[in-house]
Amino acid sequence: MSNQFIYIQQTDSTNLYIKSINEGGTLPEKSVVYTDFQTAGRGQKGNSWESENGKNLLFSMVLYPEFVAVHEQFILSQITSLALFRILSLYLKNISIKWPNDIYSENKKICGMLIENNIGEAGITQSVLGIGMNVNQEHFAGNAPNPVSMHQITGESYDRLELLNRIVEQISLLYEECKIDKERIIREYKNNLYRKSGFYLYEDCLGNVFKAQIEDIEASGMLVLKTEDGDIRRFAFKEVIFR
């Protein structure tokens, strides 16, 4: 079945909008809302998401992944990250996935996602995948630490609808694959991580800076780091900063 695409010229946030029109859960699975401008675009950690009118990709997709157990919900981040990684890699070199789910071009963030799950007795009843990808924006004025757009990297302009279609198709593909085999997806996610190998600086909640390498990402989404002394340290999202 083909995806349903809903375009709205402007909204507060596509995540909020898709949830507001889907209170009864009547939207077909994989429906997508996309917009040119958000007046209250939301990022992770309560941040806002900067995006100039008509320049970037801003969309949300709804899934009903009841087969995903609550403790395995990180697979939805992995699917989405991988879809974005694969498509961006068709256009740009040196794309990677920064744990847990940012997409980086070298050391800069080109794409972020805000995934909001509803939890039921058996599993995830609804997942809203909210994606912001920097496509044609030339300057970033806000206080995001390291944004970059496709245009800034190559000097080219890109067709946002073409990108949207490709990404949605890729998410759908990986979503169907994940119903059969999660392990291959997890392997591909880990293989394409930012700082996949080698020692780098990290900072914990207490402000301690230490050198470590990525040892693993657990099914729960926890990041496992191995320090230079061989100690294993586990972190949830927001508990560690990549320095």
Q: Which single residue brings its beta carbon nearest to ligand BTN?
A: 112
Distance from C-alpha of 172 to C-alpha of 166, rounded to nearest angstrom: 10
Instruction: Kindly state the greatest CA–CA separation across the chain.
Output: 53
**Nearest partner of 20 among 138, 126, 110, 162, judged by Cα:** 126
Among 49, 64, 175, 194, binds ligand BTN (CB under 6 A): 49
Q: In terms of CB distance, is 65 or 112 closer to ligand BTN?
A: 112
Query: Out of 31, 60, 77, 117, which residue is the one contacting ligand BTN (CB under 6 A)?
Result: 60
Query: Which CB atom, from 65 or from 130, has the smaller least distance to ligand BTN?
Result: 130
* SS3 state at 167: helix
List the one residue from 38, 105, 127, 172 that touches ligand BTN (CB under 6 A). 38
Does 50 bind ligand BTN (CB under 6 A)? Our answer is no
Taking CA atoms, 242 is separated from 5, 69, 131, 194, 202, in Å, by 36, 29, 22, 10, 5
Burial 67-89 (b: 16+ CB within 10 A, else e): ebeeebbbbbbbbbbbbbbbbbe
Nearer Cβ to ligand BTN (44/125): 44
Within positions 103 to 162, which residues make up the interface with ligand BTN, using CB under 6 A?
112-114, 130-132
- The torsion angle over the Cα atoms of residues 158, 168, 77 and 121, rounded to 10 degrees, is 150
Q: Residue 112: beta bridge partners?
A: 132
Residue 35 vs 172, nearer CB to ligand BTN = 35
Answer yes or no whether residue 44 interacts with ligand BTN by CB under 6 A. Answer: yes
- Which residue reads 């080219």 in tokens? 156
* Nearest-approach distance from CB 17 to ligand BTN, in angstroms: 8
Q: Does 43 bind ligand BTN (CB under 6 A)?
A: yes
Size of the site for ligand BTN (CB under 6 A): 20
Contact set with ligand BTN (CB under 6 A): 13-15, 38, 41-44, 47, 49, 58-60, 102, 112-114, 130-132
